[in-house]
Homo-oligomer: A and B are copies of this chain.
Amino acid sequence: MSPTTTEDSTSSNHGYAKTSLNTVNRYRGRGQYEYQHVYPIIDEAPILHVAFHGSPDQDDFAFPVILPMLGCTGNFEEDPNNDGRRSIYLHGYVSSRIMRLSRKNPASNNIAGAEGIPVCVSATLMDGIVLALTPNHHSCNYRSAVAFGYAQVVEDEPERLYAMELITNNLVPERWQHTRYPNKTELKSTGILRIDIHSASAKVRAGTTGEAREDLKDETMRTKVWAGVVPSRMVYGTPLPAPTNMFPGMPEYIEDWVEEWNEKAERYSAEAAGL
Contact = CB atoms under 8 A, between A and B. Distances in A.
A5 to B, nearest CB: 22
Nearest to A207: B242
A180 B225 contact: yes
Interface string A257-275: 0100000001001100110
Interface string A224-239: 1111111111111111
A178 B230 contact: no
B231 A237 contact: yes
B66 A49 contact: yes
A239 B226 CA distance: 10
A96 B135 contact: no
Given A21-B58, A122-B68, A186 B134 contact: yes
Main secondary structure of the interface of A (DSSP, over half): mixed
B247 A62 contact: no
A49 to B, nearest CB: 4
A273 B243 CA distance: 11
Interface stretch (A28-36, A71-79, A211-219): A211-219
A154 to B, nearest CB: 15
A250 B226 contact: yes
A199 interface: yes
Contacts of A97: 25
A251 interface: yes
Given A63-B118, A182-B136, A246 B222 contact: yes
B198 A226 contact: no
A12 interface: no
A60 interface: yes
Nearest to A262: B235
Interface in A7-51: 19-21, 25-26, 46-47, 49, 51
Nearest to A225: B179
A146 interface: yes
A252 B60 CA distance: 47
A93 B136 CA distance: 10
Contacts of A269: 237
- Across chains A and B, which 6 residue pairs bring their CB atoms closest together, nearest first? A231-B237, A51-B51, A66-B122, A136-B186, A222-B246, A21-B60
